[in-house]
């Protein structure tokens, strides 16, 4: 079977989570020969042990630390675009997207965070692939604030809003409907999470937790029917448990965070989800949400450290979706929509927001992202053995 699924795992310490995902695949009869594990790590990490783990598990894959990534950029002739993937940042998942683009046998990508585990009773990879091929009727969720809380089903009990959900969109009125989904319409599958919810630092502090987790935890009972966000509605897209079709990569750049002069961080996957949802609405595509759930075992750390990393971007997060809400109307591909959104950020009045120059920084990097993909298309690469 061709390796058509690239599993991208950003990791510096808990890389052995890969074993649990491989075990889950085998336990549910999923063909592991389809999987290629790409571990994105750092020079100071246990790269040899990571490679040994892949060999021991009998799965294909490669380990890319910072030095090896630099070599890869040179081999592809795109070293001038190395800056699009920030160093020592969760947004290094964008390297996995570049790697997929250079290797066209990968039809699907899967993001997995190293502090997660699959649920024993769920076929993790099989469910994601099934979601991406879904056709039929599915619940559609909308709100009067144009935002859907992916935790809405038990929100009356736990009151949680996920990381990246705008504070100005809280206390929304939720409406549900049923929509018909055609084959190929679903381009991303967001699996949700039990145990530690994905919250921002302000909400974690409000929940009375100083260790970066949350006192309130989620269980499988908090999630009901799978759903999509209605057209014209945004949602938070967390990359800890996410599958997607290759076609979305031009509009799915994990935004450059952390390594910038404004110290904006922690919104790489959130903003990429906003832009992907806008592209989906323009192009008639969908993001599927719900199963497969994963267990999120976020390690204890200072909530105030997370707050420090988030605070520079909190105001910008309230406005970024409005800046792109009408961008790319009438476009007929992901590249055109994404270019329009980049231009919208470049046109933003930086003086209107604290750290508003960051919008221009992101817009410039979005254009560079598209240029990097175009450069890779000229010289396709072979995947590592």
pLDDT digits (tens, 9 = 90+) for 307-359: 999 999 999 999 999 999 999 999 999 999 999 999 999 999 999 999 999 99
Q: What is the pLDDT of residue 378?
A: 80
Query: What pLDDT score was predicted for residue 129?
Result: 98
Dist CA 113 CA 100 (whole Å)? 18
Q: Look at residue 384 in the predicted model and tell me its pLDDT.
A: 57
Q: How far apart are CA 245 and CA 249, in angstroms?
A: 8
Give the pLDDT confidence score for residue 1 in this predicted structure.
Answer: 65
**Residue 257 has what pLDDT?**
93
Look at residue 205 in the predicted model and tell me its pLDDT. 96
Burial class of residue 67, CB neighbours in 10 A (0-12, 13-18, 19+): exposed
Kindly state the helix (H) or strand (E) to which residue 78 belongs, with its residue range. Answer: none
Using CA atoms in the order 135, 283, 190, 54, what is the torsion angle rounded to 10 degrees?
100
- Strand, helix or coil at 149? coil
Q: Which of 342, 385, 384 is nearest to 75 (CA)?
A: 384
- Domain positions in the chain are 5-378
Identify the pLDDT of residue 379: 60
Residue stretches of the chain with pLDDT short of 70: 1, 379-385
Give the three-state DSSP class for 179. Answer: strand
Model pLDDT, residue 340: 98
For the whole model, what pTM was predicted?
A: 0.96
Taking each helix axis from N to C end, the angle separating 47-57 and 17-27, rounded to the nearest 10 degrees, works out to: 10
| The pLDDT value given to residue 52 | 98
């Amino acid at each position: 079977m061709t390796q058509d699924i690239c599993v991208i795992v950003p990791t510096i310490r808990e890389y052995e989570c890969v074993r649990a995902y491989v075990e889950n695949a085998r336990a549910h009869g999923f063909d592991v020969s389809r999987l290629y594990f790409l571990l994105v790590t750092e020079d100071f990490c246990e790269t040899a042990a990571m490679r040994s783990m892949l060999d021991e598990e009998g799965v294909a894959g490669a380990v890319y630390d910072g030095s090896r990534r630099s070599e890869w950029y040179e081999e592809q002739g795109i070293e001038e675009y190395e800056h699009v993937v920030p160093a020592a940042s969760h947004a290094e998942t964008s390297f996995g997207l570049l790697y997929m683009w250079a290797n066209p046998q990968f039809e699907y990508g899967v993001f997995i965070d190293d502090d997660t585990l699959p649920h024993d009773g769920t076929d993790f990879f099989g469910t994601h692939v099934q979601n991406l091929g879904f056709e039929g009727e599915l619940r559609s969720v909308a709100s009067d604030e144009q935002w859907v809380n992916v935790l809405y089903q038990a929100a009356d009990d736990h009151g949680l809003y996920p990381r990246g959900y705008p504070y100005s969109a809280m206390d929304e009125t939720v409406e549900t409907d049923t929509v018909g989904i055609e084959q190929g319409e679903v381009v991303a599958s967001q699996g949700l999470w039990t145990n530690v919810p994905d919250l921002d630092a302000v909400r974690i502090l409000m929940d009375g937790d100083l260790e970066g987790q949350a006192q309130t935890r989620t269980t499988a009972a908090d999630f009901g029917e799978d759903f999509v966000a209605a057209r014209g509605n945004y949602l938070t897209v967390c990359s800890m448990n996410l599958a997607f079709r290759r076609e979305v990569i031009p509009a799915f750049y994990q935004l450059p965070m952390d390594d910038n002069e404004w110290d904006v961080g922690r919104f790489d996957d959130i903003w990429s989800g906003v832009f992907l949802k806008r592209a989906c609405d323009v192009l008639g595509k969908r993001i599927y949400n719900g199963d497969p759930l994963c267990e999120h075992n976020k390690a204890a750390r200072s909530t105030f450290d997370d707050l420090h990393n988030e605070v520079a971007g909190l105001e910008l997060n309230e406005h970024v979706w409005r800046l792109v809400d009408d961008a790319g109307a009438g476009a007929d591909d992901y590249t055109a929509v994404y270019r329009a959104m980049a231009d919208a950020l470049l046109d933003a009045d930086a003086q209107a927001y604290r750290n508003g120059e960051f919008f221009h920084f992101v817009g410039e990097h979005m254009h560079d992202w598209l240029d990097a993909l175009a450069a890779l298309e000229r010289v396709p690469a072979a995947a590592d053995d």
